[in-house]
């Protein structure tokens, strides 16, 4: 599968605190931001550089820069908003879109209620954001919507992923690379990731 799982002591350390049920809302938000930054660094590992000449205080230098105007971040509401500050700090000039979805608690299927992206979204590389990839339903629907708009380059960033969700996304969209901090064990009967960290949206916004 087209999946990159981060393996780093700092990631393991931060995830341990993030998962702890005693972690405060403030600290949870900060950790989501920090881990999102690390995911974005990895996702940009092979970004194209354009040659530029700059002038340091000592001399001129031929180097490379990323055209940050060619990127767009699209968080899946509402939990994906928690990752936005982290990735914006890496690519501050990227445009922002929003996809609103919630999970039907009876069918476990995603319900779409909002879609707003930059007008030139088809010319940008889109980085989708959602802390949890559980069944894969929301990710698949979001990718479908973006491809319908003509987007050809999509990456998906999540903090925790379930094997079942990864497989479903890979079946439908094998061209989309998924970057995650950790692949967990399985989904339970309620379609929550185990061991997971609970409901990411509730913990980010303090609604439970």
pLDDT tens track for 10-36: 999 999 999 999 999 999 999 999 999
d(CA 193, CA 32): 17
Does residue 56 form part of some domain? no
pLDDT value at 147 more than 90:
yes
Does residue 18 form part of some domain? yes
As given in the structure block, the two tokens for residue 96 are 């922002």
pLDDT in tens, 35-77: 999 999 999 999 999 999 999 999 999 999 999 889 999 999 8
Chain centroid, CA 202 distance in Å: 17
Which structural domain, as residue segments, surrounds residue 162?
3-48+66-205
Looking at residue 143, what is its pLDDT? 96
Domain CATH number, residue 143? 3.40.50.2020
d(CA 188, CA 193): 7
Percentage of the chain modeled with pLDDT above 70: 100
Looking at residue 188, what is its pLDDT? 94
pLDDT-based confidence at residue 203 (cuts at 50, 70, 90): very high
Backbone torsions φ then ψ of 80, nearest 5 degrees = -60, -25
Looking at residue 1, what is its pLDDT? 77
Rg of the chain (C-alpha set): 17
End-to-end CA distance of the chain: 34
Percentage of the chain modeled with pLDDT above 90: 85
Looking at residue 101, what is its pLDDT? 80
Residues whose CB is less than 8 angstroms from the CB of residue 171 and which lie 6 or more positions away in sequence, other chains included: none
As given in the structure block, the two tokens for residue 175 are 């061209």
Count how many domains the chain has: 1
Does residue 175 form part of some domain? yes
Residues whose CB is less than 8 angstroms from the CB of residue 19 and which lie 6 or more positions away in sequence, other chains included: 195, 196, 197
Sequence-ordered alpha helix ranges (H) in the chain: 9-19, 25-43, 81-88, 137-148, 163-172, 200-205
As given in the structure block, the two tokens for residue 169 are 């996304």
pLDDT in tens, 80-112: 999 999 999 999 989 999 999 877 777 767 778
Does residue 35 form part of some domain? yes
Does residue 75 form part of some domain? yes
Does residue 54 form part of some domain? no
Does residue 76 form part of some domain? yes
Active site residues: 103, 107, 199, 202
Does residue 118 form part of some domain? yes
């Amino acid at each position: 599968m087209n999946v990159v799982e981060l393996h780093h002591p700092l990631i393991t350390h931060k995830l341990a605190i993030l998962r702890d049920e005693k972690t405060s809302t403030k600290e949870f938000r900060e950790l989501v931001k920090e881990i999102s930054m690390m995911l974005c660094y990895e996702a940009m590992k092979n970004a194209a550089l354009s040659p530029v000449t700059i002038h340091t205080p000592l001399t001129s230098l031929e180097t490379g820069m990323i055209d940050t105007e060619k990127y767009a971040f699209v968080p899946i509401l509402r939990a994906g908003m928690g990752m936005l500050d982290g990735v914006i700090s890496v690519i501050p000039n990227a445009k922002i879109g929003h996809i609103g979805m919630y999970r039907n608690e009876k069918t476990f299927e995603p319900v779409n209620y909002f879609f707003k992206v930059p007008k030139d979204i088809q010319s940008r590389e889109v980085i989708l954001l959602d802390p949890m990839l559980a069944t894969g339903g929301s990710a698949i629907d979001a990718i479908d919507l973006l491809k319908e708009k003509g987007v050809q380059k999509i990456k998906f960033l999540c903090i925790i992923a379930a094997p079942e969700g990864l497989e479903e996304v890979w079946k439908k969209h094998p061209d989309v690379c998924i970057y995650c901090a950790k692949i967990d064990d399985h989904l339970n009967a309620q379609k929550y990731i185990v061991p997971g960290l609970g409901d990411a949206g509730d913990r980010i916004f303090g609604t439970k």
